[in-house]
Homo-oligomer: A and B are copies of this chain.
Amino acid sequence: MENVFDLSKEGASKIYVKGTMPGVSVGMKKVSLGNKNDILLYDTTGPYTEEKYQINVHKGLPHIKKTWAEERIAKYGSNKTQLWFARQGIITPEMEYVAIRENQGNNDPETMITPEMVRDEIAAGRAILPSNMKHPEAEPMIIGNKFLVKINANIGNSALGSSIEEEVEKALWAIKWGADTVMDLSTGKDIHKTREAILRNTPVPIGTVPMYQALEKVNGRVEDLTWEVYYDTLVEQCEQGVDYFTIHAGILQEHVPAALKRVTGIVSRGGSIMAKWMSINKKENFLYTHFEEICELLKRYDVAFSLGDGLRPGCIADANDEAQFGELKVLGELAEISWKHDVQVIIEGPGHVPMHMIRENMEKQIEWCHGAPFYTLGPLVSDIGAGYDHITSAIGGAMIGWMGTSMLCYVTTKEHLALPNKEDVREGVVTFKLAAHAADLAKGHPGAANRDLEMSKARYDMRWNDQFNLSFDPERARRMHFEMIGSGADHCSMCGPHFCAMKITKSI
């Protein structure tokens, strides 16, 4: 596999910031700037960006969290989640790790994020630290609205395409550009093997929708789906190391009639499957009726719930409707049950929502789900963006991130049209990194604004390499600039040498 992780091209190097607890050593990207300032940037690439790191997909990544988990089990017994520790007032190594990581070098005692704050946010249910003990390759990260807005990249084969190797490559490609978590949404053949390869080689938490595999096990026949098949699938994926599960336990029989009256019905695959199952069996959603059993299982591994919004609106006309909000209320009830079992939980959200209706989504989610982190797909602020839906969704994503959403699921340019290829993944990830970063700036995350400030200083000083290296896609910025102009210019090619406003300003 080609090594795409060479930082030297970006004027950067990988450094590790040590914590106070054993084994806490947080990888960051250090960019050396022409004005003698260095800047530390949040880095999702794990050991891949270490100098001379040899990629070996058969061997997998080092187990950075293994000792921590083992020591904890020895001392406190099994069945203990990050939420349990937080509630006991205990700071885990993972918590110290994410505090250091979030600060990105900010060490102002007034504003810096502390391990205590991380612990308290987790204890309150306002943040999660996904950490399946069976996934020791994943670096700790935190999802919560006091922290940097995170982004998820979906990958996964469908019946129509792509091999295991390609999916691992896509996962690594996604983290190269900054994906904070990766969801493997494979629905075709080799689901287990694809997931195994991704888990062993990806340094970020991995999410799945277990229903997809459960349905494959009954050959795609919803009528043959049972709680037992589903539960076995959960166990299988817990054992493999999946860090969070999308589970559509909030869509109930009572919601279905309203959903069927919509312009675009049910657009969540998991939601439509459960709706069909309920209508065939005339029974309540088995994910809802067996919810406490699922809690018991997830607790044993510290797998987090991502409570799926099976009734998210699929178009502007269906936004904020009875079906959507009916389900959201149930998700809030399930969050409380989850917390009762010390299981970490986030709530999934829409979807397609026009700008003026976004705030209501956030306010109701905070109220009804008691502050559990919100994880949204966009929202897309229009339905007509075919070919450009990374943009319609980045607009909504940035806004809802500012308002309090903790993680954004990326949407690619091919949304509604086709599966994304590698370049689409790159563009989708970078687009969402920007949306998330814009939200971080707007909500005043203490580690966010420094990067913009250094970029602006570099711009005023015409330090071109620094400008490229401070962007989320140095390669693209560099290529665009140099396609038109040679290196070392003291002007950009937009205005030419005689019309540069900043040069004129300096001459005053």
Could you list which residues of chain A lie within 8 angstroms of chain B, going by C-beta atoms?
158-161, 187-188, 212, 215, 220, 222, 256, 259-260, 263-269, 271-273, 275-276, 279, 314-318, 354-356, 381-388, 390-392, 394-395, 398-399, 402, 413-419, 430-431, 434-435, 437-439, 441-444, 449, 451-453, 455-457, 459-460, 467-468, 470-473, 476-477, 480-481, 483-485, 492-502, 504-508
By the criterion CB–CB under 8 Å, are B501 and A382 in contact?
no
Question: Which of chain B's residues have a CB closer than 8 A to the CB of A484?
Answer: 160-161, 418-419
Of the candidates B381, B439, B471, which one forms a contact with A386 in the assembled complex, judged by CB atoms under 8 Å apart? B471
By the criterion CB–CB under 8 Å, are B414 and A480 in contact?
yes
Of the candidates B159, B161, B268, which one forms a contact with A497 in the assembled complex, judged by CB atoms under 8 Å apart? B159
By the criterion CB–CB under 8 Å, are A160 and B355 in contact?
no
In the complex the two chains form, what is the Cα distance from A353 to B453 in whole Å?
Answer: 13
By the criterion CB–CB under 8 Å, are B494 and A417 in contact?
yes
By the criterion CB–CB under 8 Å, are A385 and B434 in contact?
yes
In the complex the two chains form, what is the Cα distance from A265 to B506 in whole Å?
Answer: 8
Question: Which of chain B's residues have a CB closer than 8 A to the CB of A456?
Answer: 263-264, 314-318, 383
In the complex the two chains form, what is the Cα distance from A459 to B385 in whole Å?
Answer: 12
Question: Which of chain B's residues have a CB closer than 8 A to the CB of A315?
Answer: 452-453, 455-456, 459
By the criterion CB–CB under 8 Å, are B442 and A355 in contact?
yes
In the complex the two chains form, what is the Cα distance from A434 to B384 in whole Å?
Answer: 8
| Min CB–CB distance A15 → chain B (angstroms) | 20
Of the candidates B260, B438, B459, B477, which one forms a contact with A387 in the assembled complex, judged by CB atoms under 8 Å apart? B477
Question: Which of chain B's residues have a CB closer than 8 A to the CB of A220?
Answer: 498-499
By the criterion CB–CB under 8 Å, are B441 and A316 in contact?
yes
Name the residue in A267, A438, A459, A498 with the highest tally of chain B Cβ atoms < 10 Å from its Cβ.
Answer: A438
| Min CB–CB distance A211 → chain B (angstroms) | 10
By the criterion CB–CB under 8 Å, are B473 and A388 in contact?
yes
Beyond A212-B499, A265-B460, A316-B441, 19 extra complex contacts between A and B, CB < 8 Å: A158-B499, A161-B493, A220-B498, A264-B459, A264-B460, A265-B505, A269-B504, A275-B504, A276-B507, A316-B453, A317-B456, A356-B443, A384-B470, A385-B472, A386-B471, A387-B471, A388-B471, A399-B399, A416-B492
By the criterion CB–CB under 8 Å, are B485 and A160 in contact?
yes
By the criterion CB–CB under 8 Å, are B502 and A265 in contact?
yes
In the complex the two chains form, what is the Cα distance from A500 to B222 in whole Å?
Answer: 13
Contacts A384-B437, A398-B355; is A416 near B459 (CB within 8 Å)? yes
Contacts A387-B480, A418-B483; is A273 near B504 (CB within 8 Å)? yes
| Min CB–CB distance A169 → chain B (angstroms) | 18
Question: Which of chain B's residues have a CB closer than 8 A to the CB of A438?
Answer: 354-355, 381-382, 392, 395
Report the nearest B residue to A382, measured CB to CB: B438
A-B contact pairs, 10 of them (CB 8 A): A160-B485, A256-B508, A317-B449, A317-B452, A385-B471, A386-B455, A386-B468, A388-B431, A391-B391, A417-B493
Of the candidates B279, B399, B431, B505, which one forms a contact with A275 in the assembled complex, judged by CB atoms under 8 Å apart? B505
Question: Which of chain B's residues have a CB closer than 8 A to the CB of A158?
Answer: 493-496, 499
| Min CB–CB distance A285 → chain B (angstroms) | 14
By the criterion CB–CB under 8 Å, are A496 and B188 in contact?
yes
By the criterion CB–CB under 8 Å, are A317 and B453 in contact?
yes
| Min CB–CB distance A59 → chain B (angstroms) | 32
Question: Which of chain B's residues have a CB closer than 8 A to the CB of A212?
Answer: 499
By the criterion CB–CB under 8 Å, are A355 and B441 in contact?
yes
3 A-B pairs closest in CB distance: A315-B456, A265-B505, A159-B496
Contacts A381-B441, A419-B484, A497-B159; is A356 near B402 (CB within 8 Å)? yes
Question: Which of chain B's residues have a CB closer than 8 A to the CB of A455?
Answer: 315, 383-384, 386
Report the nearest B residue to A271, measured CB to CB: B501
By the criterion CB–CB under 8 Å, are B494 and A453 in contact?
no
Question: Which of chain B's residues have a CB closer than 8 A to the CB of A267?
Answer: 501-502, 505
Contacts A392-B438, A495-B187; is A502 near B383 (CB within 8 Å)? no
In the complex the two chains form, what is the Cα distance from A444 to B460 in whole Å?
Answer: 40
By the criterion CB–CB under 8 Å, are B356 and A442 in contact?
yes
Name the residue in A269, A455, A499, A500 with the highest tally of chain B Cβ atoms < 10 Å from its Cβ.
Answer: A499
Question: Which of chain B's residues have a CB closer than 8 A to the CB of A279?
Answer: 508
By the criterion CB–CB under 8 Å, are B501 and A269 in contact?
yes
Question: Which of chain B's residues have a CB closer than 8 A to the CB of A441?
Answer: 316, 354-356, 381-382
Question: Which of chain B's residues have a CB closer than 8 A to the CB of A160?
Answer: 484-485, 493, 496
Of the candidates B187, B452, B494, B506, which one forms a contact with A384 in the assembled complex, judged by CB atoms under 8 Å apart? B452
Question: Which of chain B's residues have a CB closer than 8 A to the CB of A453?
Answer: 263, 315-317, 383
In the complex the two chains form, what is the Cα distance from A266 to B504 in whole Å?
Answer: 8
Question: Which of chain B's residues have a CB closer than 8 A to the CB of A276?
Answer: 504-505, 507-508
Report the nearest B residue to A397, measured CB to CB: B395
